[in-house]
Structure 1
């Protein structure tokens, strides 16, 4: 068979197909994936490792982009062809495996979201001087409002697209006013003097690890795009999402490198803020506040949507399902906000959780690669050999690098 059964057969809610084009759904999923990755942890990781490794961090970014393309092309295609979410695929392969995957992704997503909420609160603190805790409350309320309005998925798509434009605009402006060592950056990106496995595991995990791997794939599925006929939209969405996230990473890396090469030490507590303050003084610091808030809110939205999608095993997906699903997303944001408000989020958590997601990646990707050759799941679909074998190379490398990282910590 060329395609999996239609949406009605799979009990997938017809949320968007009647009024939105397939390409529009794919682009919405692409921006959600990209901006799920570009959160406070993304900013902190990029600045931290640029401060530690200098231009050599460019090599880690290059590997990250290659791995990201392989991971997302595999994930989006397999999910679209099967018409099933990742945890459902896992349960088809081995009963109970999907519940293990759901636990790993949802718990990792919760910790990430605490950092996201805290980042949004810190952004408002920079802009308006309110406490990070009160800023987090405001951010949490704003995120909840996005999910409780009518046509929430459409509002979510438009919101992350606007936030992506804001993030890119700010970074381009900062680069415009700085002296960037492009030659050094290019040289060390392709011929590094040092390779740091921890940085690779962390930024790959922070870009396509944990819940982020599936944010775009699950969103495109909710939009109703299933079957081989929609693979071209899955490809476009995956490549666009990786392109946006990679562009942000490169721009931020260059900005950080411009500061580091002048001898400025990035503050350990908030390394990204140092970059903007050095570049443009108090005005640049305010710009950082906008950047941090935009990145954090977009990541809160993507994290909540995707993490909750892993807790969803409903079969009958009518109006009552939609209300329950909405309530679960709201509850996820509320819990994240409360934990941050009363406990806080240590600075190291944003980097550490990215590394933890790097451990989840080889497990989740291996499950999908096995599913790609499971006829019960994908029917007569033939997964491209280059994606299948390169996917296993990523699984092996990330497993090796993760183990090497753990050994190095002791």
Structure 2
């Protein structure tokens, strides 16, 4: 998909990767998870967001760097660590990405329902058609990058407006972020999974790789892209948290079937509710593009071979179409988005551990490369913490 856009500068590709990763994270599940846990935990949810941001930094800097220096997709790296492991990793990522995509398409459809009154199912059909067209046009990845960046701006502007018309409880939020009265491991695993778990971990790195950015000389673009993406996703998360906290502390109950919508309706009435529809549509579209691109990239084991892209358009159409069909006939309640986020969080320690092992293999990374010790150490800390938190979550999760 990148053949006709190879002349783009590494910096431009890195920014495309940054927004691909950030906006893949900021989907309908992101909105639902943030609103749900803000309603449940209040200001203490700020601590979970802080942990999420720190984990994001460690995970993305590790994964992007290992993928770009090695010049290999994650599934290929996994197969070189243990033969066959790449197929297991691919299955985990693609299945998780597919179920998330049902929620993404559904979210976009619900957004059109709020904006124009059409049924969510028909809205999902429209959103799916737009996504497919974006992937199939000439210079597809350039068009996808620009679309994702534009929708990111839309999201931020909407949240700035909502914060401007609410009384933001900054003091309470800051205090409980650094001194929480309680810690909820389920919330941490879920929002980490929804922000950097599953397919999202690899969306930026794979986007850079397919944009022709690879090798030890391009590490600077890894840092620029990863930190930009983390920054954008974190700013949106914090803004939505503050808006939700203002509504909750004012004594309002969030509707559990659509908690994020309640925030906007309480903050700005019907006008705010329409803004929520636009935000939900933007979130659904960007996350659909991110989950589709990354999941499909895990099905390709011949990325560097001529003609490997000939079948991709058909797989993309099938991936989006099947997600849409399932939503059309079954639907996607808010609870599913939260649970899938938690499951993506459980995939994270497995995926990160595989790549950290690959980072120490000279045969994979090259004889001259040495992975930074601080990234190795913090990476393994994240693996252990997320494995522990994930086990605790499994013992308490209610499907």
TM-score by length of 1: 0.95
**Other structure's SS at 1:130 match:** coil
Could you tell me which residue of structure 2 aligns to residue 9 of structure 1? none
Kindly indicate whether residue 318 of structure 2 is the aligned counterpart of residue 328 of structure 1. Answer: no
Q: Distance in 1 between matches of 2:189 and 2:138?
A: 39
Match of residue 5 from structure 2? 16
Aligned pairs for 1:377-396 (under 5 A) are 377-379=364-366, 380-396=368-384
1:13 Cα deviation from its structure 2 partner: 6.7
Per-residue deviation at 1:295?
Answer: 0.7
Instruction: Find 1:48's aligned residue among 14, 36, 40.
Output: 36
**Residue 351 of structure 2 is aligned to residue 364 of structure 1:** yes
Q: Is the 8 A contact 1:15 1:224 kept in 2?
A: no
Distance across 2 between alignment mates of 1:375 and 1:93: 11
1:111 matched to 2:99? The reply is yes
Name the structure 2 match of 1:223: 211
Secondary structure (helix, strand or coil) at the match of 1:266 reads: coil
Quote how far apart the aligned CAs of 1:406 are: 1.3
- Asked whether 1:346 is paired with 2:333, we answer yes
Asked whether the equivalents of residues 259 and 279 of structure 1 are also in contact (C-alpha less than 8 Å), the reply is yes
Indicate yes or no: 2:356 matched with 1:375. no
Which ranges in structure 1 are unaligned for 5 or more consecutive residues? Answer: 1-11
Which secondary structure does the structure 1 equivalent of 2:293 belong to? helix
Matches within 5 A, 1:147-186: 147-186=135-174
Which whole-Å CA distance do the structure 1 matches of 2:165 and 2:394 have between them? 40
> Is the 1:259–1:278 Cα contact (8 Å) retained in structure 2?
yes
Q: Is the 8 A contact 1:13 1:317 kept in 2?
A: no
| 2:112 equivalent in structure 1 | 124
Corresponding residue number in structure 2 for 1:190 = 178
C-alpha RMSD of matched pairs (Å) = 1.2
Q: CA separation in 2, counterparts of 1:13 and 1:116?
A: 24
Query: After the TM superposition, which residues 77-96 of structure 1 pair with which residues of structure 2 at under 5 Å, given as runs?
Result: 77-96=65-84
Structure 2 unaligned segments of length 5 or more: list them: none
Please list the CA deviations of residues 87-146 of structure 1 after superposition, one character each: whole Å capped at 9, or x if unmatched: 000000111000000000000000000000000000000001000000000000000000
Partner SS for 1:302:
helix
Distance 1:409 1:134 in 2: 33
1:141 pairs with 2:132: no
Q: CA deviation at 1:314?
A: 2.0
Q: Separation in 2 of the partners of 1:354 and 1:325?
A: 26
Per the alignment, do residues 298 and 326 of structure 1 end up closer, same or farther by CA in structure 2, a change over 3 Å counting? same
